[in-house]
Amino acid sequence: MNRKDVLEIKRRMKKESCTFTRICGCYVDGERNRVVKLNETFLNLEEEEFYKYLEIAKKSLSGTVGNNLLELAFPSEEEAPGGKQQFLTALRSSALQNEDLLERFYDLVIDNYEYAGNYLILIFHDAYDVITKTSDNSKLDESEEVYEYLLCAICPVSLSKPGLGYLAGENRIGPRIRDWIVCPPESGFIFPAFTDRSADIHSVMTYHKNPKEPHTELMENVLGCPVKKTAAEQKLTFEAIIKNACGGDEDTSREVFCEIQHELSDMALENADEETEEETEPLFLTADAIGEVLAETEIPETAAAVIESSYREEFKDESPVLDHLIDAKAAEAGSRQRQEKELIQKVGILEQELKDTRILAGLQEESMPDAPKTYDVILRVKPEKAAQIKSQIIGGQKCLVIPMDENEHAAINGVNTTV
């Protein structure tokens, strides 16, 4: 599922567009005990409940694809009888009206989901009549298929904050009663995935509110899919690889990280310039590509070799998307570092040129400080002109005579002089 597919499903989660047929749920306490269950026809809900549940469903499809939203593929064994994909398919086909399948689903989540506190398992059923679209995205009054899917949201349930309130029964201000409140979902999934406006029964899209610490047990144990790193995890892993290659030195590793980020940012810009389509294919950063990036930097060869080797090992199963590894602030810092280095090099070159000019003009300082030499007259002439200068006595005065051709000009103390 790409961003466009996700948005198409989310746009349906409005009062006038919603076609959820059923909502079921199970409230679980901190000891993994079932407290209460719900099983309702969605369109029969009270208006306030209707909107609150709709908001939860929409939140389960929020965030960035590849970071908060991860698409996972079912391994072949999970598509065989008794596998997780087969079980979810049966649950979907039941339209959440088979109590035994629902009980098994709740048990599957309760036994595997790791959360230290109370939470609510919600599962929605929907059947979306996918309308055909032309190449210019105009809708036609005919259906391509009916996309039947399940949307699951796992929401923490926490006590409201303590505070004061008006106690009507006692007609006074006092501590208000703290309630258990259902919070926005922390995890969830949509099955099957909605890819290219069609159901993909071989894939499931998972949701993770905190991409730095996703619930991997949801991917692996509840859904039976191999664990996949979020973009945030990939970036942290990449930074750790660089830090390790720099011997753990914070300052050095940060400088190297920023320098690499500058190169990655340039690569992303080049890729964006080449693409003209609205929806572009992601650019994956392979181990060979990271080697080429490192070759463009001034990182020592030994450290670069360690980074490339570690990168190859960490991301051997799947190369990260380039954009997932880019840290905008670090890339900007890397650009400043590059500019500072170039400025220092330019200053060094100018200083050397100035030194060479002074030597050529005879202005270098004497190496013996106890015998300083001062000059009353200082001449700067072209090398070919120096051989023409002669000393003569004119009117009893010792003079320096510099022959001048008609097309030649002179400057005395920086002022142009006509001779």
pLDDT mean over 191-219: 94
Q: Which of the residue ranges 118-122, 260-264, 265-269, 369-373 would you say has the lowest mean pLDDT?
A: 369-373
Question: How are beta strands 118-133 and 193-195 bridged, if at all?
Answer: unpaired
Per-residue pLDDT reduced to its tens digit, 75-97: 999 999 999 999 999 999 999 99
Per-residue pLDDT reduced to its tens digit, 332-350: 887 787 777 778 878 878 8
Per-residue pLDDT reduced to its tens digit, 315-335: 888 888 888 888 888 888 877
Per-residue pLDDT reduced to its tens digit, 124-161: 999 999 887 765 555 555 667 899 999 999 999 998 88
Residue that has been written with the tokens 């298929």 in this structure: 145
The predicted structure's pLDDT at residue 274 = 53
pLDDT over 50 at 368, yes or no: no
Rounded to whole angstroms, the Cα distance separating 34 from 53 reads 20
Q: Say if CB 121 and CB 152 are below 8 A apart.
A: yes
Rounded to whole angstroms, the Cα distance separating 393 from 96 reads 117
The predicted structure's pLDDT at residue 375 = 64
Query: Which tops the pLDDT comparison, 369 or 243?
Result: 243
Q: Which amino acid is at 248?
A: G
Query: Which tops the pLDDT comparison, 250 or 308?
Result: 308
pLDDT over 80 at 374, yes or no: no
Question: Shortest CA distance to 283 belongs to which of 297, 296, 270?
Answer: 270
Question: Shortest CA distance to 213 belongs to which of 110, 2, 67, 60?
Answer: 67
The predicted structure's pLDDT at residue 300 = 84
Rounded to whole angstroms, the Cα distance separating 377 from 399 reads 11
Q: Where are the alpha helices (DSSP H) in 275-374?
A: 287-295, 301-314, 322-325, 328-361
Domain boundaries of the chain, sorted by first residue: 3-228, 234-342, 376-417
The predicted structure's pLDDT at residue 36 = 94
In this structure, what token pair is assigned to residue 300?
Answer: 């020592």
- Burial per residue of 357-374, b for 16 or more beta-carbon CB atoms within 10 angstroms, e otherwise: eeeeeeeeeeeeeeeeee
Q: Say if CB 223 and CB 98 are below 8 A apart.
A: no
Percent of the chain surpassing pLDDT 90: 42
Q: Which long-range contacts (CB under 8 A, 24 or more apart) does 115-118 make?
A: 115/154, 115/156, 115/186, 115/215, 116/30, 117/30, 117/156, 117/157, 117/158, 118/27, 118/28, 118/29, 118/30, 118/35, 118/156, 118/157, 118/158, 118/180
* H or E, element range at 61: none
Question: How are beta strands 22-28 and 180-182 bridged, if at all?
Answer: unpaired
3-state secondary structure of 3: helix
Q: Which amino acid is at 299?
A: I
Residue that has been written with the tokens 């008794």 in this structure: 82
pLDDT band at 380 (very low <50, low <70, confident <90, very high): confident
The predicted structure's pLDDT at residue 367 = 47
Q: How far is CA 199 from CA 80, 267, 334, in A?
A: 19, 34, 43
pLDDT mean over 250-275: 81
What is the rounded average pLDDT for all residues in the chain? 85
Per-residue pLDDT reduced to its tens digit, 270-311: 777 555 445 567 788 888 888 888 888 888 888 888 998 999
pLDDT band at 187 (very low <50, low <70, confident <90, very high): very high
* β-bridge partners, 399: 392
Rg, the chain, Cα only: 36
3-state secondary structure of 200: strand
3-state secondary structure of 116: coil
DSSP state of 406: T
- Burial per residue of 132-141, b for 16 or more beta-carbon CB atoms within 10 angstroms, e otherwise: eeeeeeeeee
Within 10 angstroms of residue 168's Cβ, the number of other Cβ atoms is 7
